[in-house]
Amino acid sequence: MLFQIGGIFILLAFYGCYFLKMLSQHRNGIQTSQIGRKKQGLARFIEIAMSLAATAVPILELASLIRNTPSLPLWARIAGLCAGLAGTAVFLLSTAAMGDSWRAGVPQAGETRLITNGIYQFSRNPAFLGFDLVYLGMFLLFSGWILLALSALTALLFHLQIVTVEEPFLTRAFGGSYIAYRNQVHRYLGRTRRNI
């Protein structure tokens, strides 16, 4: 029961933050979802596939939580609870640091600014890191193999989004500022030694 309560908390806090941020930005006239907008080819495909997979994962997470038939040992479930809570905290910090520049998908040029402060000093993609930690945590908590497969596919699509859509956009939009930042901060976690 403790793990189910923890799982419910993680899902409510994580996805609640996501939707409250979107609602807050909508009230301020900001179109948060940029997924597939004004894009073509591979970029459009990746963003739409990522969106569909990311929509299916919480449904499967909830079903796994309700079913609650773990097959992993207690230590793995505790690690899952810790990973899920860490992912939620990382995601909350990332959306707070982004302020009104936060978007789902890549925006058009001029609609955002380069954020390098807060948690972005340690990760160029903390929101995606948060998603990945929550996905890992929910799998370890409730050990559904279909959940693992869908979560892994979604994490792969997130990575493709970063590498093929976001990073080229940021390089074009912010040029040398982004390149310098990219050279200092790792894609997911950490800083380069020479810049510490």
Q: Using a pLDDT cut of 70, give the percent of the chain over it.
A: 91
**Single-letter amino acid, residue 184:** Q
Map tokens 């979107």 to a residue.
Answer: 22
Q: Which residues contact 148 (CB under 8 A, 6 or more apart)?
A: 139
Alpha-carbon distance of 137 to 132, in angstroms, equals 8
Name the token pair of 163.
Answer: 């590498």
Read off the pLDDT band of 81 (50, 70, 90): very high
Residue 105 has pLDDT above 70, yes or no: no
Q: Where are the alpha helices (DSSP H) in the chain?
A: 2-27, 41-67, 74-98, 126-142, 145-161, 167-184
Q: Which of 97-101, 106-110, 145-149, 174-178 has the lowest mean pLDDT?
A: 106-110
Residue 92 has pLDDT above 50, yes or no: yes
Residue range 123-140: mean pLDDT, rounded: 95
Domains of the chain: 2-21+44-104+113-195 (1.20.120.1630)
The confidence score (pLDDT) of residue 104 equals: 67
Query: Please, are residues 131 and 54 in contact by the beta-carbon 8 Å criterion?
Result: yes
User: Mean pLDDT for the chain?
Assistant: 88
The confidence score (pLDDT) of residue 85 equals: 97
Residue range 123-137: mean pLDDT, rounded: 95
Alpha-carbon distance of 66 to 46, in angstroms, equals 30
Q: How far is CA 110 from CA 11, 165, 183, in A?
A: 33, 16, 23
Task: Quick: pLDDT tens for 133-158.
Answer: 999 999 999 988 899 999 999 999 99
Beta carbons within 10 angstroms of residue 186's beta carbon: 13
Q: How far is CA 35 from CA 46, 56, 100, 106, 161, in A?
A: 9, 16, 17, 7, 10
Query: Please, are residues 135 and 155 in contact by the beta-carbon 8 Å criterion?
Result: yes
The confidence score (pLDDT) of residue 34 equals: 67
